[in-house]
Structure 1
Amino acid sequence: MQAKKKQGLFSGFLNNGNAYPVLTAVAAGLYPLLFYYTNNYKMINSWGHLGYFVSVFLLFPIAVFFLAHKISGVNLFKKFQPFVLPFLNFFFFFSYLNIALYAGFNWLRTLIIFGVAVLLAFLLRKFFKKIIGFQLILAVIGIFTLAPVVIKQLNYSKEWMAQPDAIEEAVFKKKPNIYFIQPDGYANFSELKKGFYNIPNSEFEYYLKENNFKNYPGFRSNYAATLPTNSAVFMMKHHYYNNGSDFTETIDARNVIVSDNSVLRILKNNGYRTFFLTEQPYFLTNKPKLGYDFCNFSTEEIDFVTTGIGEPKDVIKPFDNYLETYADGPNFFFIEIFNPGHITNTIEDSKGVEGERQHYMESLAEANKKLTQLTKSILEKDPKALIVIMADHGGFVGMTNTGESYTKNTNPDFVNSIFSTILSIHWPNGEAPEFDKELKTSVNLFRILTAYLSEENSYLENLQENGSYIIINSGAPQGVYEYLDDAGSVIFKKLS
């Protein structure tokens, strides 16, 4: 009886003459909204984003559809009324899907969608209510797809962030200005000379040595991407990709990196001003609350729909201005530049193995130029600075695209191309601590620096192990695998 009643309601919906402008608008926007949230949740997990997307994907089309339907009821436009809602539905539905897929607006694609919407409105008008039903079914599927993503976020445990000692209460005995410069994807000098790279870079390596930087051969990252690496770096702890519970971006990573973390707490407890300068707002896409005192991006200038990657913003000039304005210190600068970066992410955009390698070489030269400018500015004004140049991961050179890294491959050149990272440090007065030999992977960087600045060696008792980890999707059961062990040897061990 219940099934027959539902069937009757659906049949009545299909066969009556009512237009349902509000339902038509909801059908156009709801599935694209859910689709976008499912695929980008960690970039847009704020109340501000929710309000924006509900307004744009639901409230705005409801207003437009309702108004258009009313206007088309006027005698002058009466003959167009049967086509108005179908056209608007197709146009908005495909326009929103376009935004969801490409995270942005494009005039050419919009014009194509306009033409397709006009054509479909004429061809499929008689089947329009069935299409609305199909769109609503898609939305129901979208709810079930999004629900696990949201539940995973809500159940996210922050236990991994707990420190095993009182390092957050460390008291610095010396307080130099600290400059943490992160060139994206910059492989270690030792790896650039061999393996899949074989890239000449001796001029910049020599420049650093001449200016009393100490280079650390064989240094590497613990993770294969920017967000998981930096969340581990600033918490000085392993998260193991959320213990294998997440196979995309690391949960809550942006908030960990720029809002609140162990490193920022230590610095603020020791009276440091904190500055975050970046060429791209990649860490800021979800508009997190900033834990830094100064940033060269304001949340207002970051679009709600964005990948966080676009035209790079200059960091050199604002950095020089900050150096002049806040010369007294102590200051901590986190400066992120997006050169040399890594090879392309997709096979469709790939220039092939050698083409990608050549592009990396060109971008490496640009990185050297920026790093030279930054370090020269620092050393001229602050010769006793603590300057750390450390990348987030390698450049993935030797592959056609970064997607290959998710397939099992235990070739040492392949693995080191992912994890090898530059580490070069200008120690104040050229005096590196004896325990700098412990600088092997990025997760332990700030614990070692804290021990150095506080002159408290007990913090070294809780160094994290130096394994390097990656997510594998093919060639082996899906999961998080240890690719390099504590000694830097290639292994392939699935985490339990």
Structure 2
Amino acid sequence: MRTVKSNLKNTMESKDIVRTTKPKSPRFLAIITALGAGLYPVIFYYTNNYSLINSWKHLGFFIALFLVVPIVVFVFFDWLFKIPKLIKWHKHVLPFLNIFTFFLFIQLCLYTTLQWLFTLLILGLAILFSIFLYQFFRKLVALQLILAFVGLFWLIPTINTQLSYSSEWMLLPDDIEQVVFKKRPNVYYIQPDGYLNISEMNTGYYKIDNDDYDSFLKEKGFKLYRDIRSNYTSTLVSNSATFSMMHHYYNNGFNFSEIANAREVIISKNAVLDIFKNNNYKTHYIAEISYLLNNFPEMGYDACNFDYKDIAFITDGFKREEDIVKPVRKFLNEDTVTSKFFFIEIFKPGHVESDEQKTTGKEREFEMYKEKLKIANERIKNVINLIQENDPEGLIMIMADHGGYAGYDNMLDIRKKTMDRDLLYSAFSTQLSIKWPNNEAPVFDTKFNSSVNVFRILFSYMSENEKYLKHLQDEGSYTLIEEGAPKGIYKVIDEDGTVTFKKH
């Protein structure tokens, strides 16, 4: 009897050994676990940053990073930890990899970079979970897959909006695209981000003494235009209208700063670029940062100071800053017999924080704006001096994309209804200063009111043909409103510069 019991015990122990050495962990479990770690983060990132990453290059990169790489890594370690020396840790491997990878991807999606402190915290969390709660990891994977499925309900409409994008709003009402220039100066469009108009700088929420900069411009032969406004609230939205010479009225915008196809409109193809090219101008895009190039739009300019190979796939476009003086000097000295157009972006003085979670408050944000204004002044002066040394007869236009938003805690506050004139002008007022060749401004330069019509007026001057002024666009300033009124697009400053509130 004792022998029978002993044999039975040995048989049970033998089965336990077999059960231990050959765990039920088929390869598909590792694959499903990897998909659980990567699917929701990639859907989340695409939903919230679609216009930044809507290229085929990005699609391939994100499929590889978020899905293919985790699958390979998970399958490899699942196999590795089945060898006898590591088998006792096998049950902890997939839970650890899943938690660590999932939250590492979430960190990357939120901050576009990996931070050591957060990464260490994620590592600690993954270790603790894999040791003490590993038996629940299949339920966690199921939850991750459910999150990914739910995320599709936000991603699909976003993609559909992009795919259904129509460029009909860019159709011009006349034949200005066939305009022929009789005056052919080199044209330099310098755009300082968030630079307020002279009429607002010493009033309202600013009260900044900027006389030194204004005096510099006057000494250099610039004419300073007062009371000029942008038509829209952010860089991409404003520039899309400016370079198209048409209103888009936010064109199914995804969020505050983005509209459908904005980078393609500005960088790849627009009426302003086409007109310069039709008149045999060589076009140049020079920028301090790669913000307009993040999704690798087809380059419509003949020359650029950024190479797409140097732009990261995951970036907000603000981390790497270039000195623009060197490329401007380089391109000035090339093709000296060819007429040129330069679009030069200076991302100072900027504006108050755009993220309501990161703002330091209106007072501190304004103090930072004043400091960055000093930097902007010096950079603009350096570029102007460089241009005039090499091209004294060039036409130089300085026009900002929008205002600096002093008085706001963050830029998103523009979505709240207000009838405060100074607050609205803080967001929409823009500098416009032009150095006309031979200091001869056209008689119709009184028509400068807002950025959407600036190039139409400029082309009327260069063609010596005022017929194009018959189709000036609505000079209103528009914003999205979400608080204080029914959600929608509203005209908040009318053609005469008067504060209004009319739903578009």
In which range does the TM-score fall when normalised by the shorter chain?
over 0.9
Q: Does 1:69 align with 2:78?
A: yes
Q: Does 1:464 align with 2:473?
A: yes
Aligned-partner SS, 1:76: coil
Q: 1:245 to 1:374 in 2, by over 3 A?
A: closer
Q: Hey, what does 2:207 align to over in structure 1?
A: 198
Letter of the structure 2 residue corresponding to residue 446 of structure 1: F
Rounded Cα–Cα distance in structure 2 between residues aligned with 1:452 and 1:117:
66
CA-to-aligned-CA distance 1:343-369 (integer Å, 9 cap, x gap) = 112344333322222211111111110
CA-to-aligned-CA distance 1:84-143 (integer Å, 9 cap, x gap) = 000000011111111111122223221211111111112221111111111111111111
Q: 1:263 to 1:299 in 2, by over 3 A?
A: same
After TM superposition, list the pairs within 5 Å mapping 1:302-317 onto structure 2: 302-317=311-326
Q: Hey, what does 2:143 align to over in structure 1?
A: 134
CA-to-aligned-CA distance 1:364-413 (integer Å, 9 cap, x gap) = 11111011111111111111111000000000011222222211111001
Rounded Cα–Cα distance in structure 1 between residues aligned with 2:141 and 2:356:
36
Q: 1:57 to 1:312 in 2, by over 3 A?
A: same
Cα offset, 1:244, TM superposition? 6.8
Q: Confirm or deny: 8 A CA contact 1:179 1:386 kept in the other structure.
A: yes
- 2:63 is aligned, of 50, 54, 59, to 54
Cα offset, 1:475, TM superposition? 1.6
Q: Confirm or deny: 8 A CA contact 1:214 1:425 kept in the other structure.
A: yes
Rounded Cα–Cα distance in structure 1 between residues aligned with 2:320 and 2:100:
29
Q: 1:243 to 1:141 in 2, by over 3 A?
A: closer
Q: Does 1:399 align with 2:408?
A: yes
Cα offset, 1:299, TM superposition? 0.7
Cα offset, 1:428, TM superposition? 0.6
Q: Which has the larger radius of gyration?
A: 2
Rounded Cα–Cα distance in structure 2 between residues aligned with 1:228 and 1:241:
7
Rounded Cα–Cα distance in structure 1 between residues aligned with 2:476 and 2:97:
54
- 2:394 is aligned, of 385, 394, 404, to 385
Q: Hey, what does 1:32 align to over in structure 2?
A: 41
Q: Hey, what does 2:17 align to over in structure 1?
A: none
Aligned-partner SS, 2:316: coil
Rounded Cα–Cα distance in structure 2 between residues aligned with 1:377 and 1:86:
60
Letter of the structure 1 residue corresponding to residue 266 of structure 2: I
CA-to-aligned-CA distance 1:128-173 (integer Å, 9 cap, x gap) = 1111111111111111210000011111111101111111111101
After TM superposition, list the pairs within 5 Å mapping 1:4-403 onto structure 2: 17-19=24-26, 20-242=29-251, 249-403=258-412
Q: Does 1:474 align with 2:483?
A: yes
Aligned-partner SS, 1:241: coil
Rounded Cα–Cα distance in structure 2 between residues aligned with 1:353 and 1:108:
29
Letter of the structure 2 residue corresponding to residue 136 of structure 1: L
Rounded Cα–Cα distance in structure 2 between residues aligned with 1:243 and 1:296:
31
Cα offset, 1:328, TM superposition? 2.4
> Is the deviation greater in 462-471 or in 243-252?
243-252
After TM superposition, list the pairs within 5 Å mapping 1:433-472 onto structure 2: 433-472=442-481
Cα offset, 1:247, TM superposition? 5.6
Q: 1:235 to 1:202 in 2, by over 3 A?
A: same
Rounded Cα–Cα distance in structure 2 between residues aligned with 1:354 and 1:129:
50
Rounded Cα–Cα distance in structure 2 between residues aligned with 1:122 and 1:462:
71
CA-to-aligned-CA distance 1:219-269 (integer Å, 9 cap, x gap) = 010001000100101000000001678665111000000001111110011
Rounded Cα–Cα distance in structure 2 between residues aligned with 1:24 and 1:248:
36
Rounded Cα–Cα distance in structure 1 between residues aligned with 2:358 and 2:243:
33
CA-to-aligned-CA distance 1:418-445 (integer Å, 9 cap, x gap) = 0000000001111111111111000001
Rounded Cα–Cα distance in structure 2 between residues aligned with 1:493 and 1:297:
41
Q: Hey, what does 2:10 align to over in structure 1?
A: none
Letter of the structure 1 residue corresponding to residue 85 of structure 2: L
**Percentage identity across paired residues of the two chains:** 48
Rounded Cα–Cα distance in structure 2 between residues aligned with 1:61 and 1:352:
41
Q: Hey, what does 2:6 align to over in structure 1?
A: none
Q: Confirm or deny: 8 A CA contact 2:253 2:260 kept in the other structure.
A: no
Rounded Cα–Cα distance in structure 2 between residues aligned with 1:211 and 1:408:
41
Rounded Cα–Cα distance in structure 2 between residues aligned with 1:35 and 1:117:
21
Q: Confirm or deny: 8 A CA contact 1:241 1:247 kept in the other structure.
A: no
Rounded Cα–Cα distance in structure 1 between residues aligned with 2:357 and 2:262:
28
Cα offset, 1:492, TM superposition? 0.9
Aligned-partner SS, 1:283: helix
Rounded Cα–Cα distance in structure 1 between residues aligned with 2:267 and 2:374:
28
Cα offset, 1:327, TM superposition? 2.6
Rounded Cα–Cα distance in structure 2 between residues aligned with 1:245 and 1:361:
31
Q: Confirm or deny: 8 A CA contact 1:191 1:197 kept in the other structure.
A: yes
Count residues in correspondence: 480
Rounded Cα–Cα distance in structure 1 between residues aligned with 2:50 and 2:231:
24
Q: Confirm or deny: 8 A CA contact 2:245 2:453 kept in the other structure.
A: yes
Unpaired runs of 5+ in structure 2? 1-22
Letter of the structure 2 residue corresponding to residue 398 of structure 1: G
Rounded Cα–Cα distance in structure 1 between residues aligned with 2:463 and 2:319:
40
TM-score of the two chains, using structure 1 as the length reference? 0.95
Letter of the structure 2 residue corresponding to residue 72 of structure 1: F
Aligned-partner SS, 2:489: strand
Q: Hey, what does 1:8 align to over in structure 2?
A: none
Q: 1:28 to 1:234 in 2, by over 3 A?
A: same
Rounded Cα–Cα distance in structure 2 between residues aligned with 1:353 and 1:166:
46
